[in-house]
Structure 1
Amino acid sequence: MEQGDKLLLWGLLILGAWCGAVSMVEAQGYWETVVNNAGIATMHAAVTHYGNVVLLDRTNVGPSQLNLAPGVCRDNPQDRASTHDCTAHSALFTPGSNDIRPLFVYTDTWCSSGQFDGSGKLVQTGGDADGLMKIRNFSPCGGGGCDWVELDGGLQQGRWYASNQILPDGTQIVVGGRGVGTVEYVPANGRGTYDVPLLYKSNDAQMDNLYPFVHLLPNNQLYIFANRDSILYDWQTNKVVRDYPTIPGEPRNYPSAGSSVLLPLSANADYGNVEVLVCGGAAYGAYMNPAGQTASQTCGRIAPLAAGAGWAMENMPMPRLMGDMILLPTRDVLIINGAGGGAQGWGNAVDPVKTPVLYKPYNAAGARMQTLTGSPIPRVYHSTANLLPDGRILVAGSNTHQFYTLTGYLPTELRIETFSPPYMGANRPTYAAVPGGLKYGGGFTATVKSAGAKNIELNMVSAPFVTHSYAQGQRLLQLEVSAPAAAGAGAYDVASKAPPNAAVAPGGYYMLFPVADGNVGYASWVKMG
């Protein structure tokens, strides 16, 4: 198999029991190493609407193992490690062919943030050193002509460890950052920076308010979570609307590194049954005094638009920090990557957690967690996980060292894997016809091939910017669908309706997945708005 062996991990396949072993494996998912050496460590990752994946590390680490195009070098007198560098610190990965194409990024993107805009352009903000106030754009393409463009105009304040969220008006709000208690907008459109009291209140001795969790709610307001506290924020007036109770347990943001998702929004509830999930974290002080303290084992759920909103707590099967949480096309949540103890930071991770957990939000409390097949490769600090249009999860990165360290305990990880969840069985649906563009509230029909299907869903998933255990801008929408109407040859016409407005689904590209009786097909990219 090209570039790696498929790792069917749930026992050895015995030739005489091949069929039974395969069905056990599929029930738990399977892993494949698709690239043995990507050349760069993947600190940030984002899937473009061409289906390829932007991989991004940082500069100021010296040469990577991926050369830039012949004759292309980065000459930056401000670089701390190598002022003349002919290697790449960003790349474009193409699933299927598994090709890696080097990209050219000039300023330091260490611990930066980002999001796709309505045109599908990746807008990337901040970083460290000469990247602190930079704005960079990547306009994706299907060929070899696209690359990073660094803008002349920058941010109003330096943003290091900030979070971005695209808004209904097409701009992005940039929230917080190291030593920064404000928000700003990109493009600013005449707006300045605005204080957010939560970001000052939550800034403890080890700065547990970095990479705050920011979710756009369908009422056009923002849920912002930092450390252990959270608010409802009106971005149009830049006012705090509501404070929420403190979540029990440990700090949840960088460097304590829990994760968070806005649970799927459904047309069946008029996109109004809103819940936020926060899982994992680290013991307070684990960053300042690294001694391998055990990570948090708890998850909390809150309904931020409900009267009397409070936290409902439950336990994961194992403690975890630095876990990535991914909304799956089945409307479940995958918790993947991470460590059982320590904190984010150089050399602080202990006890890598290699086993993903499937979280089923619609099950009763106590029956929501299922462990899946584990990978042999540890993925801790500076690792990523992204949903691909074919339903697989792309897993890359892991570097708990300041520079590339390819030997010893938890070395810098240059391999790229995919994880195929259990929903990728033999009976996957396909599209015979699907629209490429959707208008708010507009009806459309998709033709789905799936022999004998009893229930078909059309679930629309954004492509987030993933970094530091948080997928910025991630959301999933279960669309309104009619009962499937037989269209012949095992196909069904499914009448549906697009989301009602940009507060439910900000403009841009989404993966529209057909899901038939729990089996997930290959997504089609649709442009919303």
Structure 2
Amino acid sequence: MEFSGSQKWLPLFILAFVITQCTLLAIANLPGTWELLVPDAGVASMHTAVTRFNTVVLLDRTNIGPSRRMLRKGHCRFDKNDPILKRDCYAHSILFDFQTNQIRPLMIQTDTWCSSGQFLPDGTLLQTGGDLDGYKKIRKFNPCEATGSCDWEELQDVELANGRWYSTNQILPDGTVIIVGGKGANTVEYYPPRKNGAVSFPFLIDVEDKQMDNLYPYVHLLPNGHLFIFANNKAVMYDHEMNKIVKNYPPLDGGPRNYPSAGSSAMLALDGDFSTAVIVVCGGAQYGAFIDRSTDTPAHGSCGRIVATSDRPGWEMEDMPFGRIMGDMVMLPTGEVLIINGAQAGTQGFELASNPCLYPLLYRPDQPVGLRFMTLTPGTVARMYHSTANLLPDGRVLLAGSNPHYFYKFNAEYPTELRIEAFSPEYLSPDRANLRPAIEEIPETVRYGEAFDVFVSVPLSVVGILEVNLGNAPFATHSFSQGQRLVKLTVTPSVPDSAGRYRIGCTAPPNTAVAPPGYYMAFVVNQGVPSVARWVHLVA
């Protein structure tokens, strides 16, 4: 058959239509759903943390000029050294109630650009460092109910021994916080401050190169009490009590992973006898992309996985379906890892990336190599430099931020992002609602090694073991969730009681190295479907 004139294009049109429909059908069949929570939060969140009062603290720089949300009337920040606003009446931090989607502006005084944070055992958010007037600052946010008046407190009687810009915080077994590295700060120090102040940490010098790549080191507290610290492409086991490296791990293939090369890392769930810790490091930019300011150099998608507590550790390599930089790795209540946000080309830095990676991935650690990654429903909002992802107690993942520009900029290919979204993994799909347990009773405070009961209700009869998993609330920034942790408790098989509920016998974590003291989201998981969490205070 021959076509003439416009008819020549008919087969091509049909083919394009069929391809488009098949693509849409494939996307429609992918797991997970998206929802827009707030169309304009007014602030692009560079740092995000979830509090035990089911609110979320979102935080940006202070010297970025006007945000899109005003402080309360009569509340302004005065800074003669601010290059843009000497009198600044705009909010650079907000408190978000994800149950009502209401926002309250917060007052932050000093610059928090590329700072670090961690929750203390009493639930207070510790926030350290930044740039300019925030370089040595220590701040606290003592959270309250959404209707309360809690706000940021800048400590006046104490400051950091070294300025910290691009550093990482990790809570320790004794409830203190170690602060690791930062630009030009190849040391560690602690909060509360110790007499010896900052302590030299030569490992960070050894791995530094001309594009740095030792900033925002990945720090994980191992169940033996030591720290796994990863920078550039190398890692060590660090005895923070003796200030001594006790193990050097083999280098990870694939080039640098830390800022500005923009990979990410997570420690998988601790379970069993809690003696084994597995670390995963994924993604990153091609070396030189940051130096050359190349926005279109493809990111790589390699992941390394290592048993950090092994006597003979080695990296097991695999590839993600997409090359990705600036992806966030979120520990889900099930023990799976959500990899979300980021781009497929370029590097970290202002206006240095392109080709947003809109497809989340589910990393299933129990599957064999080659079957661990599942591609999920794509979003529509580019979440690139300075974006965050945080697990919420209801099982959703909160997405905020993305500002790939030095200032707020909306007339751009990738504008400053003020929308707040939530991604719901497949375990929240309607067809699994009848499996979702509800926690009816759980202790508010639990001591280490203590036996306690959790009572739940489930729409259908329970089949198999109900898990009880504790997830903490990390401080998410720059593609790494500082302090992130999931602990699977030892449980007994559930037993129905006379009230139609199920009783689960649980044993709290054995010590503070397995789970440092503080507030945790306690999830009950039934056949891969988690409950809404209850906050539990784990104390010595």
Identify the TM-score tier after normalising by the shorter chain. over 0.9
Aligned pairs for 1:358-397 (under 5 A) are 358-397=362-401
Partners of 2:192 and 2:407 in 1: CA distance = 33
Of the three residues 141, 145, 149, the one matched with 2:153 is 149
Q: SS at the partner of 2:205? A: helix
2:254 corresponds to 1:245: no
Q: SS at the partner of 1:334? A: strand
Hey, what does 1:93 align to over in structure 2? Answer: 96
2:335 corresponds to 1:337: no
Hey, what does 1:139 align to over in structure 2? Answer: 142
Letter in 1 for 2:314: G
Q: Deviations over 1:41-62 (max 9, x none)?
A: 0000000000100000001111
Aligned pairs for 1:372-521 (under 5 A) are 372-425=376-429, 426-427=433-434, 428-450=436-458, 451-454=460-463, 455-488=465-498, 490-521=500-531
Hey, what does 1:263 align to over in structure 2? Answer: 268
Q: SS at the partner of 2:497? A: strand
Partners of 1:116 and 1:273 in 2: CA distance = 24
Q: Could you tell me which runs of 5 or more consecutive residues in structure 1 were left unpaired when the two chains were aligned.
A: 1-10, 13-20
Shift of 1:26: 8.5
Hey, what does 1:107 align to over in structure 2? Answer: 110
Letter in 1 for 2:513: A
Hey, what does 1:280 align to over in structure 2? Answer: 283
Shift of 1:27: 6.2
Letter in 2 for 1:353: C
Q: After the TM superposition, which of the residue ranges 192-201 and 217-226 deviates more from structure 2?
A: 192-201
2:37 corresponds to 1:29: no
Shift of 1:82: 0.8
Q: Deviations over 1:145-177 (max 9, x none)?
A: 100000011100000000000001111000000
Shift of 1:490: 4.5
Aligned pairs for 1:172-187 (under 5 A) are 172-187=177-192
Letter in 1 for 2:483: G
Shift of 1:491: 2.0
2:170 corresponds to 1:160: no
Of the three residues 39, 43, 46, the one matched with 1:43 is 46
Identity %: 52
**Is contact 1:185-1:191 (8 Å) kept?**
no
Q: SS at the partner of 2:384? A: coil
Hey, what does 1:7 align to over in structure 2? Answer: none
Partners of 2:98 and 2:499 in 1: CA distance = 30
Letter in 1 for 2:116: S
Hey, what does 1:4 align to over in structure 2? Answer: none
**Is contact 1:259-1:470 (8 Å) kept?**
yes
Q: Could you tell me which runs of 5 or more consecutive residues in structure 2 were left unpaired when the two chains were aligned.
A: 1-19
Hey, what does 2:174 align to over in structure 1? Answer: 169
Q: Deviations over 1:256-298 (max 9, x none)?
A: 11000111000x2x11121100000111111111222111210
Letter in 1 for 2:488: Q
2:305 corresponds to 1:301: yes
Shift of 1:25: 6.0
Partners of 2:360 and 2:492 in 1: CA distance = 34
2:207 corresponds to 1:199: no
2:109 corresponds to 1:120: no
Partners of 1:346 and 1:151 in 2: CA distance = 30
2:221 corresponds to 1:213: no
**Is contact 2:223-2:276 (8 Å) kept?**
no
Q: SS at the partner of 1:289? A: coil
Q: SS at the partner of 1:28? A: coil
Shift of 1:80: 2.0
Shift of 1:96: 1.7
Hey, what does 1:524 align to over in structure 2? Answer: 534
Of the three residues 315, 325, 343, the one matched with 2:329 is 325
Q: After the TM superposition, which of the residue ranges 47-56 and 418-427 deviates more from structure 2?
A: 418-427
Between structure 1 and structure 2, the one with the greater Rg is 2
Letter in 2 for 1:389: P
Letter in 2 for 1:481: V
Letter in 2 for 1:203: E
Partners of 1:304 and 1:265 in 2: CA distance = 12
Shift of 1:520: 1.2
**Is contact 2:30-2:375 (8 Å) kept?**
no
Q: Deviations over 1:211-240 (max 9, x none)?
A: 000000010100000010010000101111
Letter in 2 for 1:151: L
Q: Deviations over 1:396-452 (max 9, x none)?
A: 000000000012210000000000000113221101111111100000000111121
**Is contact 1:265-1:273 (8 Å) kept?**
yes
Partners of 1:489 and 1:352 in 2: CA distance = 51
Q: Deviations over 1:339-368 (max 9, x none)?
A: 001001010011100000000001111110
Letter in 2 for 1:475: R
Partners of 1:189 and 1:479 in 2: CA distance = 33
Partners of 2:118 and 2:498 in 1: CA distance = 41
Of the three residues 67, 73, 76, the one matched with 2:76 is 73
**Is contact 2:279-2:305 (8 Å) kept?**
yes
Shift of 1:483: 0.5
Partners of 1:294 and 1:232 in 2: CA distance = 32
Of the three residues 310, 313, 319, the one matched with 1:315 is 319
Q: SS at the partner of 1:297? A: strand
Partners of 1:356 and 1:487 in 2: CA distance = 40
